[in-house]
Structure 1
Amino acid sequence: MDNMQQTIHSINGTTNGHCRLKSMNFEVPENSFSHETQGLSRNRLVVRRGKPFKVTLKSDSWLWNPSTERLVLEVCLGGLSKRIPVLFYEEQSHPQLYDWTATIYPGNMHPQSVIIHICAPVQSSVALYELLAHIETRRSRITYVLGTFVLLCNPWLKDDPVYMPLDAHKEEYIKSDYGLVYMGSSSNVSKRPWSFGQYEPGVLEACLKLLEFSPQHLTDKNKDYTLRSDPVYLSRVVCAMVNCNDDLGILEGKWQGSYKNGVKPTDWSGSADILLRWASSKCRPVRYGQCWVFASVLCTVMRVLGIPSRVVTVFNAAHDGNGNMIIEEFYTRTGEKFGMSKDSIWNFHVWVECWMRRPDLGAGCDGWQVVDPTPQEKSEGIFCCGPCPVAAIQHHWLDARYDIPFVCASVDADVVRLIVHNGLVVGKTVDTECVGKLIYTKSIGSDKPENVTLTYKPDKSKRMRKNITLCKNTATPRSVSVPQSTPTNLSDSPYFSGIMSPNLNMTLKIVGVPKLGEPIHICVTITNQCKNPRVLVGHINAQVKEYDSSPSEAFWDAQTEVQIQPFSVTTLNHTISHFKYQSFLAGDDIVNLAVVLKDMTTKETFLAAEEFSISPPQITIQIEGGNSIQLKKERTVLVSFTNCLSTALYEVVLTVQGAGLLEGKQVAKIILLQPGEKILKTVSITATSPGTKLLMATLSHSNNPNIIARWYHKVSVTA
């Protein structure tokens, strides 16, 4: 149905001599410009609540006689409807923010047409509405179906709960279809561009379908429609629907094993493909997602619905299973970390912040709210998290809704590292700074990161938190599942309450930024703060790990011994050569590094740990004529990779793809790529829609089954 201009037919009665309504025009271009909704739909009217939009009704002569007839509009939503008498401007008493209005302004009434300005209440429900027109007398009524329109939240309107004052913020957090996801580790941050794709054909409809297939809507449509006026409610519904754990949601998560029956999470570069696959598959979940995919899709849906949103990365994000704000980690005496705790720390975790007022909590909780769609813990019985006010997280207001304790632990738990040997805990360190060490989001109008850590982290001198029971002699015994060599009751160990000697300090540091193909340099600094010399022996150990899980077996270790004099500082330098890690690590892989030293005299054991990521080699993407291209105009792209590694690569595959730019994948292959040699692929791109698009290139080879390099290039498409 063309909503710009359409012929109208009555659905009841006859005209009885009255002139029929012949056609109507939703004035889509003008309304879209006025309501900041350009590009969201090609043929459907999309407007924002609380702001008037105009429609034009046409007939062969006067549409109705105001002295004997009434013109009434009706908006319908499921089983709900609202009649809106059409009034002339002078008949309106005052502007209505909280009721529907339909107004004819002076000069807008003509013999064969009338322009009506319709305004929805500032807290109307977000949905697809049907619009009817009635011409009524005391004894008759003629009804016409005018068409449908979509109503969204309005961050441009001060009275809307999602109001955002600054235009630059609205441009970034509502209108922009391009973003960055920060990944890697806090010491070596990498960034992954993401195409939110809200202007791709069908994305708006997919977002509306998501609401229609939520459990809330399927259970009680009218109640759901009514509650959709509230951005708090909307964010919880969408958050739960982005994962498929409880419902007909969009994405199925997977963090390990084979991805052959789906798409590997690292292969996604935009939300549109995911949303369109889900919408066209009768709501079967799209395989597969991980945290940044869940978050980026959620950000797209919220921006489409009119709620300002941004993707946020927490580095060293804790998953506190028992809510005690303590994360336990266990190491062997040789520095290997093993996964025997229900708690965990993700090197990075990605969620979304949504902007809204919180009248349910008070003005102190207005502003950015954490909404996390990655299914980790249930919130009021469903797999969603939030909206959780960032201000409440910072101040540890643990009784505020929703999910404050879980999110507080994610950014501010303490880490207790225990060294286990022969059934005993022989050493322990407590780290109060590791969790939530760095929190990033994309800057406004820039590809640089904005550090928002201080908006989450409480003032250490003022915060209220539970004492760390592991530092007390009154630690409560409990049974845990542990490896065979560890005690069943860890707290029974005589060393369980011991604190690492204050007379020795040890730090572990990675020198420079580790890059694939180059050696990794490690520096251990030991400070002896007592009057006695020390003889220390131990191990340093490296393990590859996924960003969200415990590390696998060690791929490198070294024994070390050092004699350190009283009140002195000693450094130990180690190097992991490329030959030692080349068959284990690929680009963006994360390494867990730990050093454990034992004092041969006092028998004390000391631990220092660090995690870091490997930077991948670069793939070069060059667009002839520059990075701004015109819609439907063909352009040539040169994609190349030069082997910067010290070894030859076999069966090299260079793959190029880009939603909205390329059909399918373009591939170049070479059997052998010597150090310093180049592989090149030339592709032609044509943009099918305006906005920001992404070209993605990946490189793999038979030396290592993983993709060793992944690179993105931003393309600006103009109409």
Structure 2
Amino acid sequence: MLSEGWAKVYITVEGDSGDIERCCEKKDSHMEDLSLQYVNLEESENLERHRTEGFSSSKALVVRRGAPFRVSLQLEDRTFHPKTDFLRIKVMLGSLYVIIPVTSSKKVSSSSWNAYIDPEGLNLQSPSIFICSPASASVGCYRFQLCVFTQESQKAYAIGKFILLCNPWCREDAVYVPFEDQREEYVQNDSGLLFMGTPMNLVSRPWSFDQYEPGVLEACLNLLQVSPWHQKNTRLDYLNRNNPVYISRVVSAMINSEDDLGVLKGNWSDDFKQGVHPSMWTGSGDILKQWAQSGYSPVKYGQCWVFAAVMCTVMRVLGIPCRVVTNFNSAHDTNANLVIEEYYTETGQKLNVSKDSIWNFHVWVECYMTRRDLGPGMDGWQVLDPTPQERSGGEFCCGPAPVKAIKDRRIDLLYDIPFVYAEVNADVLSVIVSKGRVISYSKDTEKVGSLILTKAIGFPIHQSITGDYKHIKSPTSSLTSRRSTMSGDSTLSRAGSSNGVSVSLTLDRAQVAGEPVCFTVKVINRQNVAKKMKVHFNAQAKEYNHGPSDAFWETHGVIKLAPMEAKVVHQQILPAEYAHVLGDNLINLAVVVEDMDSQERVLASEEFNIASPHLTVQVADSIVPNKVQTASVSFTNPFSHPVSGVLTVAGAGLIQGKVNFRVLSLCPGGRMEQHITFVPSMVGTKMLQASLSLTNISSTIRGFKMVSVHGA
């Protein structure tokens, strides 16, 4: 029986005898043969040295480029004679290979493969060899051999495999990040938050990236193997995998299934019967493993945040720093004129007649890398968007587009900068039409890209990065200025005006399910004549990426304004009136005021979400691995009717798979509490997340708790 950590090796001859002849040189002496008995890949030491401990379940050793890893040899028959015995390492990636002489010098070059015998504590019966790849080596699964030649013989031994990843800890690597807290967050962190909803009413959705779950690493490597680039020209693909720009474009295209055997099938309809509703996914692991196990059939279904979160997993697995980013009020400018037209009826109902669109939020990723292809100044965060919207180079992919280039409108550079620039900078033209004729219009230059967020480093909260994408007029953050707009301190960005009258629409507070939607409309007569005004209120449900459906609530009235008078009108939509449009829907709320004498009309509108209540997750303070722990999940029903559903609890590194509990009818105001036991398997900060899918409402209630698992 082999001792732990050791693998038996076999003499191999690959192809013809020329392989060994290239590895070894014949000698004419008659010394005793040198044979290799075992090789120890020193897994625990190498995983710790390369910060790949999370991949310990892999069948191959996982290391990072630009840093040495150690293998130990166990010789039989005799010891190693440095003056007469020679070793070489043959490293193979597909049909590519390199032969590395094993030297006695620790001086290595970051631009080439190196191997040396450990000169410190040299044990001639079991010497150690350090192998170091260049910082620009290709990512992939390598095979390697040890070639042994003496004055008497030559032999080649198959050692096994190792997986080589990018190395953000290596200064010479194109993905190098200089700060440890950023490397921990953007490479090693296996959980995070995805931001949705609206700027005033943010929704923080927990997500498990699952990069250390069994099978995920292999699925990510298979993604590169089944890509059209690899299938078309295997050799060229392997060579290009040294470049994170190339890798990121391949992954961006492979996350969606529009052109290839990609991971996810997008679906923005109302029919998800053939798969899983995008809002039901809680992590990347289930998606990637299902894709791999199905023989690379696309997983159904994804929408933007699912595409982005899965891409974040793949990039972190490959060693490329990555974070998920949300752009609120994201424009899709189909005619590239940087103007998005939105059309309304004369009573404020929004129409679905424009090819352009604004998504209330759109989610993509940023990856950190140098851009040697673009010259100085474009290094750093790069936008990549795997959601299939437009083709780039013939494929449904987007990026990498330097964030710095987007801010400075460098549309002459690669890749897809004009498209992303429009997503964060387009103007919105709101047009009122009647009988096919434009009767009023107004332009909003602040709505699109009003807030751009990512998760803060080390904390489960958001961080605004709006200023990285665009030149902000105010020194305050977008979130602060947006909230002051919504609270009534400034209503310019959500107001309409004409020569005779102006109108502003303000939500009184962030909206929560079970409470009335309260809002205020302020109408100002800007002339020295009295006015009689019709006021039309209209609310329509909409999905984040679609135009709205028919109005579910409307009311009309008449107000009289004295010369230069301002009047404030308070309105509310009761929970019973919006209950049937809850779930992931948003609401488009509009008001049109009409001068009854001149027929002049002015529009103000706002889109908002109604936040779901939260589950409360509680865990003991002291958590250690491999010991039974207890958590509790509680929920109080805020709705005016009973609810029931299924509670699901999951947590990478905490719980194997998912645990489901049925929640029976819970009366209004009723409280449930469910206790869960789990056994942590990994040290570090982990996310325990819970979701309650309600059966009688199209809604999912979520909650999470960050858990610190300390070493024993």
Shift of 1:632: 4.0
Cα gap change, 1:63 to 1:425, in 2 (>3 Å): farther
Greater displacement, 142-151 / 534-543: 534-543
Q: Does residue 401 of structure 1 match 2:414?
A: yes
Separation (CA, whole Å) in 1 of partners of 2:664 and 2:307: 35
Alignment of 1:170-185 (within 5 A): 170-185=183-198
Shift of 1:193: 1.1
1:641 pairs with one of 615, 635, 640: 635
Q: SS where residue 691 of structure 2 aligns?
A: strand
Partner of 1:387: 400
Cα gap change, 1:16 to 1:541, in 2 (>3 Å): farther
Partner of 2:480: none
Partner of 1:207: 220
Separation (CA, whole Å) in 2 of partners of 1:314 and 1:534: 41
Partner of 1:5: 6
Q: Does residue 82 of structure 1 match 2:102?
A: no
1:260 pairs with one of 261, 264, 273: 273
Partner of 1:475: none
Greater displacement, 135-144 / 400-409: 135-144
Stretches of structure 1 lacking an aligned partner (at least 5 in a row)? 462-498
Partner of 1:465: none
Partner of 2:690: 696
Separation (CA, whole Å) in 2 of partners of 1:48 and 1:96: 15
Q: Does residue 535 of structure 1 match 2:532?
A: yes
Q: SS where residue 583 of structure 1 aligns?
A: helix
Partner of 1:592: 588
Q: Does residue 674 of structure 1 match 2:670?
A: no
Partner of 2:702: 710
Greater displacement, 182-191 / 39-48: 39-48
Partner of 1:338: 351
Partner of 2:607: 611
Amino acid of the structure 1 residue aligned with 2:631: V
Cα gap change, 1:7 to 1:584, in 2 (>3 Å): same
Deviations 1:495-550 (A, max 9, x none): xxxx9624532211111111111111011122333333322213111111111111
Q: SS where residue 300 of structure 1 aligns?
A: helix
Deviations 1:615-656 (A, max 9, x none): 112323334x34x644443334333322223x2325x22422
Stretches of structure 2 lacking an aligned partner (at least 5 in a row)? 21-29, 475-495
Contact kept, 8 Å, 2:66 with 2:135, in 1: the verdict is yes
Alignment of 1:344-423 (within 5 A): 344-423=357-436
2:648 pairs with one of 650, 656, 663: 656
Contact kept, 8 Å, 1:3 with 1:147, in 2: the verdict is no
Greater displacement, 511-520 / 630-639: 630-639
Separation (CA, whole Å) in 1 of partners of 2:375 and 2:4: 41
Separation (CA, whole Å) in 2 of partners of 1:405 and 1:3: 56
Alignment of 1:151-190 (within 5 A): 151-190=164-203
Contact kept, 8 Å, 1:314 with 1:439, in 2: the verdict is yes
Separation (CA, whole Å) in 2 of partners of 1:355 and 1:2: 42
2:48 pairs with one of 5, 8, 33: 33
Separation (CA, whole Å) in 2 of partners of 1:211 and 1:432: 41
Contact kept, 8 Å, 2:535 with 2:558, in 1: the verdict is yes
Q: Does residue 59 of structure 1 match 2:75?
A: yes
Q: SS where residue 294 of structure 1 aligns?
A: helix
Deviations 1:328-370 (A, max 9, x none): 1111111111211111111111100100010111221110000
Cα gap change, 1:22 to 1:126, in 2 (>3 Å): same
Query: Aligned residues: percent identity?
Result: 44
Q: Does residue 281 of structure 1 match 2:294?
A: yes
Shift of 1:315: 0.5
Cα gap change, 1:683 to 1:109, in 2 (>3 Å): closer
Cα gap change, 1:262 to 1:687, in 2 (>3 Å): farther
Q: SS where residue 439 of structure 2 aligns?
A: strand
Separation (CA, whole Å) in 2 of partners of 1:300 and 1:371: 13
Q: SS where residue 129 of structure 1 aligns?
A: strand
Separation (CA, whole Å) in 2 of partners of 1:211 and 1:441: 27
Shift of 1:227: 0.2
Contact kept, 8 Å, 1:64 with 1:135, in 2: the verdict is no
Contact kept, 8 Å, 1:2 with 1:44, in 2: the verdict is no
Shift of 1:139: 8.8
Count of residue pairs brought into register by the alignment: 671
Greater displacement, 176-185 / 685-694: 685-694
Separation (CA, whole Å) in 2 of partners of 1:107 and 1:659: 43
Partner of 1:523: 520
TM-score (norm 1): 0.89
Q: SS where residue 195 of structure 2 aligns?
A: strand
Partner of 2:159: 146
TM-score (norm 2): 0.90
2:322 pairs with one of 300, 306, 309: 309
Separation (CA, whole Å) in 1 of partners of 2:48 and 2:695: 49
Deviations 1:99-132 (A, max 9, x none): 1111124234323111111111110001111111
Separation (CA, whole Å) in 2 of partners of 1:603 and 1:550: 27
Q: SS where residue 217 of structure 2 aligns?
A: helix
Cα gap change, 1:256 to 1:665, in 2 (>3 Å): farther
Amino acid of the structure 1 residue aligned with 2:633: V
Q: Does residue 556 of structure 1 match 2:572?
A: no
Separation (CA, whole Å) in 1 of partners of 2:504 and 2:593: 12
Superposition RMSD in Å: 2.3
Separation (CA, whole Å) in 2 of partners of 1:663 and 1:257: 28
